Chain A
């Protein structure tokens, strides 16, 4: 009964979304206030209904209702509660419902907090947002119904894929979707502005926090996925340039670009058309990512062939929204008149460079991701495009970005002086190079990669600090520090996020350059040395988990005779799903992770054991956390809390900085 209620609520929400995507639009066009006013309660109703629907599905999972096909396929009575809940979105249908839930939540937020938007703009935004919702609800209801019942309910389910029964992955999809779907807000605002024919600072001030929020979620989601791959796949890789990874990375790059160009719209009322285009493309790539992942076109030709409906449906959604939005852009883009004038060397231009680098690097990832498909379809060449290509083709853009970042960040608006900016940062540059040279001398042998990472990372991190320092003005240190503490939170957020990028760059280079590995057959009781540690496999025994059985190795780790830790790498088998997984044992450290993975028992006795020392691995996630934190700090800036969307008759004068 509850399941049917959930199904019914979803259909009702679909009907409302159809009305909401037409009526307010007509109202805004004709200037009928009552037609526009229906959008707000409808957006709230949609959210309530979809939330009800999602709750019903969650209830079916929590109570292990095996009359629902989705629960049978993805759950098991013995599964811990948290994975019963995460099982709701650990599959195609349920994750789509989560996607829809987040979509209508964003729509409802625009209704709840958008009271100070111009009425016509708000009505149009809600209508566009609702039309996206309608498309995805239709997709859910007609091709991927999560509420389908089975005729003969089995006694137990087939269990969730064991790889997904993991705390990291339980929260990875919701964050990723919050990011993906958050970009729909920027899209709705862009399309509404095109219909409206005007973009001003208030528009920028509205779009930025939404984009920022989406970007924060996307950053956390990607970092969680990467961290999961690091500890789960058994050898500590953190990025694979897999099509599904790229599907989330391309929207992230666009969101980053959009974030920066929206600043220009907000502060300088220029680059409007470009920002609108970025908002459209950003959501377009997020739809394309959905298509890539859901259709299985790139990951498995069979998945696509077995259910072409889904792939075709998403392709239609993608083509429809992009077609309409880009046509609108072509027709109305020219109307968006830019006000601010700026010189070729200025903060505006630096942000344009940032945008060009991010957008082009995203297109490079796109071309690389789609190339195997294109080459096979049109040129009959069956080939692969893998990490070596992406590393070679993508990295130069990030290096260029990192080199330009500190300089661009301190350039003043309107008109800058490159020589003056370089002069202010000469100390930073010298320090970064000295650090790199020091590291290069200290490391015996080894690749040049890590020292380059130190120089680049140091340049970005120190540059971010210098940015704050310079903004605090001249004078003695004490008043300067006081002024620094009083800088707007947006400035602190900017510096934190930029420093996070620097830390990430350094960590990637250090990890790739300094990682060491040891593969051996370890016998019980036998000790071996690796990376300054003495490791002893003391025992291997079987352990029974709630819904799996595990082979667990016990490894004592000592350094210079003193005990460091005991690690327990595992191999698990989940009988219900019939699948083995590795659970690497990791001793996390500030400067290195010690990473152990247990392999099979060997014919001649002993166990295969892999040992890695991964320097600065934690800094990689730390850098991502810093980036997300920077976004949060920026989001808490006073002007977003107080002045979001406020169109005061006499706008506060923005200092030219």
Chain B
């Protein structure tokens, strides 16, 4: 799985983030409630130089900067949305691991339920059609049945 990812990274030779500690002890906020909020928010924000890692998991310097900015906004009294928006304004929609449900993204969000309804609908019609009683025996079949019963 990630094996091939890393092989690819190696072949293409981009930066390989060193897997080590993500959140460093000196970043942790003193207020546990605020820190918990920061952790939860940072799990949903992408480290923009990493491969599919949130800033909470990543060890990259940029991720550290983003974690610190996020914590600064929270300490400054921003709400969760405001703090996230602050990062989105600077790094783009790309940082959101949970894509915004607006515009064409709605396709992404509704695809699951729509496909499920479609699948269940098709299955239900097919099953109902199949569940219809079998057509009565034809005359030839009745004849054959009588033959069989005689023996």
Contacts and interface: CB of A to CB of B under 8 A. Distances in A.
Contacts of A161: 6-7, 10
Contact of B19 (A164, A233, A349, A371): A233
A610 B131 CA distance: 59
B24 A91 contact: no
Contact of A385 (B10, B53, B108): B108
Given A229-B2, A381-B93, A389 B130 contact: no
Contact of A386 (B18, B97, B107): B97
A225 to B, nearest CB: 4
Nearest to B120: A356
Given A248-B1, A360-B112, A300 B98 contact: no
B7 A90 contact: yes
A600 B27 CA distance: 14
Interface string A84-98: 000000111001000
Contacts of A516: none
A229 B1 contact: yes
Contacts of A519: 21, 23-25, 28
Interface residues of B, number: 60
A232 B19 contact: yes
Contacts of A361: 112
Contact of A382 (B14, B94, B120): B94
Interface in A288-307: 293-294, 296, 299-300, 302-303, 306
Contact of A302 (B12, B54, B59, B119): B12
Nearest to A604: B26
B1 A245 contact: yes
B77 interface: no
A375 B111 CA distance: 14
Interface stretch (A362-370, A491-499, A502-510): A362-370
B2 A581 contact: no
A112 interface: no
A349 B127 contact: yes
B5 interface: yes
A448 interface: no
Contact of A393 (B24, B28, B112, B134): B112
Given A163-B6, A300-B51, A375-B105, A384 B95 contact: yes
B145 interface: no
B128 A344 contact: yes
Interface in A352-404: 352-353, 356-357, 359-361, 363-364, 367-368, 371, 375, 379, 381-389, 392-393, 396-397
Contacts of A293: 4-5, 8
B20 A389 contact: no
B21 A343 contact: no
Interface residues of A, number: 84
A386 B52 contact: yes
Contact of A242 (B23, B52, B100, B105): B52
B20 A600 contact: yes
Interface stretch (A148-156, A168-176, A205-213, A424-432): A168-176
Contacts of B127: 342, 344, 349, 352
B105 to A, nearest CB: 7
B1 A341 contact: no
Given A225-B3, A342-B131, A386-B46, A602 B25 contact: yes
Nearest to A244: B5
Contacts of A602: 25-26
A342 B133 CA distance: 9
Interface string B19-44: 11111111010000000000000011
Interface in A174-230: 176, 222, 225-226, 228-229
Contact of A597 (B3, B21, B100): B21
Interface in B78-101: 92-100
Most buried by A among B6, B26, B120: B6
B9 interface: yes
A375 B12 contact: no
Contacts of A228: 2-3
B25 A371 contact: no
Nearest to B121: A356
B12 A296 contact: yes
B57 A237 contact: yes
Given A176-B1, A384-B97, 5 more contacts: A90-B3, A235-B57, A240-B2, A357-B116, A383-B100
19 contacts: A90-B7, A91-B7, A161-B7, A164-B3, A164-B6, A164-B7, A172-B1, A234-B21, A237-B57, A293-B5, A299-B8, A342-B127, A381-B93, A385-B99, A389-B108, A393-B109, A393-B112, A397-B112, A519-B28
Give 10 nearest A-B pairs by CB, closest first. A386-B97, A225-B1, A599-B21, A388-B98, A303-B12, A356-B119, A364-B112, A580-B18, A244-B5, A521-B25
